[in-house]
Amino acid sequence: MNIPGTDLSPARPVPTRALVTGCAGFIGSHLTESLLNDGVSVVGVDCFNANYGRAQKLDNLRHASNWNSFEFIPLDLSRGDLEELISDVDVVFHLAAEPGVRASWGDRFQRYVTNNVMATQQLLKALAQVPGRRLVYASSSSIYGQAESLPTREDAIAAPRSPYGLTKLTGEHLCNVYHANHGLEVASLRYFTVFGPRQRPDMAFNIFCRAALNEEEIQVYGDGHQTRDFTFVADVVAATRATATATIDSGGAYNVGGGLRASLRDVLAAIQELSGRELTIAFGDEQAGDVRDTGAETSKAREHLGFVPATPLQTGIEAEFEWMKRALALR
């Protein structure tokens, strides 16, 4: 059962200096640029874990690196001694993680424990020594597993179906433990299937767009009728930033979903139209850890954070398709 929030933490002013962990990643790089564009100084941390290529992560930072108000620190958070890192920031956006459901099985699980659990614990330990900072923790809809009801509320029973989901839920519980014992202001954001430019190469939209442009066969796990609550990255950034300043349910969780629930077949049809040719698609067996459907009930985020997703699914798919087209042209 999820640990509920225990009280409300009052609204805070817009931060002047923020720490973004996982700043070279898909969502982290977009968040970093959004903050910089609005005059917030950013300390960015990334350890360049090997879930995908270092070159793409460095390219994700290309725009941020042009800002004098951006400081990049290559750092493995799991090694600790982080008090100096957070000493002069107003808010911490903790997006660093070892991502991916399918890769979290077997021998790779230790990486998930290190990068999702130990790194989070070390960051929380440092924050407990330097009070007054708010932590926004990037969690995942994977903590629900195959939810009993759709759309899914935050008080639904958490039942992860993958080691990845288990580690993200553990991170939530650690945040709640430090809130209860040390009074840390924390909120967990459960992101639902984020897509858009810079998406990781192991994620479905990236794979589908790349294969369509390269005229390659697309491998789909399952029958393609499985549905997801797709959420465009700009909407995720807006919710994440709002959590830094809003009156929040400290120690609680918020669903961040785009309200764009669709099947993989719907997505493939949209990509086929953009590509101007018929796609070659092979349907295979479902993979361990995958769930049939996801859907976010987001009234809590709307009420507390003012979160209203603004990007239609077709618009978001077009943005990712055009990004992929440009990326392939530069290779």
Active-site residue numbers? 164
Phi, psi of 195 (to 5 degrees): -140, 170
Are 297 and 152 in contact by the 8 Å Cβ rule? The answer is yes
Phi, psi of 222 (to 5 degrees): 100, -175
Interatomic CA distance for residues 61 and 23, integer angstroms = 8
Are 262 and 313 in contact by the 8 Å Cβ rule? The answer is yes
Chain centroid to CA 163: how far? 17
What's the token pair of residue 215?
A: 């005229």
Interatomic CA distance for residues 199 and 329, integer angstroms = 17
Are 93 and 31 in contact by the 8 Å Cβ rule? The answer is yes
Of the candidates 56, 19, 57, 58, the one whose C-alpha atom is nearest the C-alpha of residue 35 is 19
